[in-house]
Amino acid sequence: MSPFSEISFTPNEFSSLAKIDKSIVSTLEQFDLIHTHRKKVGNVDRKLISLEEIQRYFRILREFDEAEGPSSVAAATGDAAQLSTGAGAVSAGPGISISHLLRAIGAPENIATSGSIATATAYAAPRPKLKKQMFYNVKGGTGKSTLTAQFVMMAAIQGHRVLALDLDGQGHLTVNLDILDAHERPTIYDVLINDLPIQEAVMNVAPGLDLIPANLGLCNIEIPLNSKTRREYRLSEALDKIADQYDLIVADTNPAASILNGSMLYAADRVNVICATNPLSFHGMSLVMATIEEMQREFKRQLDVKIVPNMYDAREVISQEVLGELRSQFSEFCAKSVVTRSADLNEATKRRTTVWDVNSRGAGAMDIANLTDELTNG
Ligand SMILES: Nc1ncnc2c1ncn2[C@@H]1O[C@H](COP(=O)(O)OP(=O)(O)OP(=O)(O)O)[C@@H](O)[C@H]1O
Ligand SMILES: [Mg+2]
- Which CATH number goes with the domain that contains 316? 3.40.50.300
- Which CATH number goes with the domain that contains 72? 1.10.1660
Residue 141 Cα to ligand 1 middle (Å)? 5
pLDDT of residue 81: 34
DSSP-derived letter for residue 340 is B
pLDDT of residue 3: 87
For 76, other C-beta atoms within 10 Å of its C-beta total 10
Assess whether pLDDT exceeds 60 at residue 91: no
Q: At which of 87, 105, 123 does a domain end?
A: 123
**Most ligand 1 atoms within 8 A of CB, residue of 145, 337, 341 to mutate:** 145
Domain match, 208 and 357 both: yes
Domain match, 100 and 171 both: no
Domain match, 177 and 256 both: yes
At residue 116 the predicted structure's pLDDT band, cuts being 50, 70 and 90, is confident
Q: At which of 123, 152, 186 does a domain end?
A: 123
pLDDT of residue 72: 45
Percent of all residues in the chain with a pLDDT value above 70, rounded to a whole number = 93
168 lines ligand 1 (CB under 6 A): yes
For 283, other C-beta atoms within 10 Å of its C-beta total 11
Taking the C-alpha atoms of residue 340 and residue 342, their distance in angstroms, rounded to an integer, is 6
Are the beta carbons of 91 and 370 closer than 8 angstroms?
yes
Residue 168 Cα to ligand 2 middle (Å)? 7
Are the beta carbons of 305 and 333 closer than 8 angstroms?
yes
349 lines ligand 1 (CB under 6 A): yes
140 lines ligand 1 (CB under 6 A): yes
Q: Which residues pair with 34 in a beta bridge?
A: none
At residue 94 the predicted structure's pLDDT band, cuts being 50, 70 and 90, is low
* Helix extents (H) in the chain: 11-18, 25-30, 51-68, 98-104, 109-112, 144-157, 172-176, 188-192, 222-226, 234-240, 259-267, 279-283, 285-299, 317-329, 343-351, 355-358, 363-377
Domain match, 146 and 295 both: yes
Residue type for position 305: V
Domain match, 168 and 87 both: no
Assess whether pLDDT exceeds 90 at residue 204: yes
Question: Stretch 184-195: mean pLDDT, rounded?
Answer: 98
Question: Stretch 75-93: mean pLDDT, rounded?
Answer: 36
| CA dihedral for 167, 170, 174, 179, sign (positive or negative) | positive
Residue 239 Cα to ligand 1 middle (Å)? 26
172 lines ligand 1 (CB under 6 A): yes
More confident residue, 220 or 83: 220
Nearest-atom index, ligand 1, CA of 142: 21
Domain match, 139 and 62 both: no
Q: At which of 100, 123, 146 does a domain end?
A: 123
Domain match, 159 and 221 both: yes
Domain match, 272 and 345 both: yes
**Most ligand 1 atoms within 8 A of CB, residue of 280, 349, 368 to mutate:** 349
Domain match, 275 and 362 both: yes
Domain match, 299 and 226 both: yes
Range scoring the smallest mean pLDDT among 29-33, 93-97, 157-161, 222-226: 93-97
354 lines ligand 1 (CB under 6 A): no
Q: Which residues pair with 30 in a beta bridge?
A: none
At residue 47 the predicted structure's pLDDT band, cuts being 50, 70 and 90, is very high
Residue 172 Cα to ligand 1 middle (Å)? 10
Instruction: Write the pLDDT tens digit of every residue in 122-142.
Output: 999 999 999 999 999 999 999
175 lines ligand 1 (CB under 6 A): no
Q: Which domain holds residue 59?
A: 4-123
Domain count along the chain: 2
Residues 6+ apart with CB under 8 A from 247: 127, 128, 131, 155, 160, 161, 162
Query: What pTM did the predictor assign?
Result: 0.93
Taking the C-alpha atoms of residue 285 and residue 111, their distance in angstroms, rounded to an integer, is 54
Assess whether pLDDT exceeds 60 at residue 144: yes
Domain match, 86 and 114 both: yes
Domain match, 194 and 300 both: yes
Are the beta carbons of 55 and 154 closer than 8 angstroms?
no
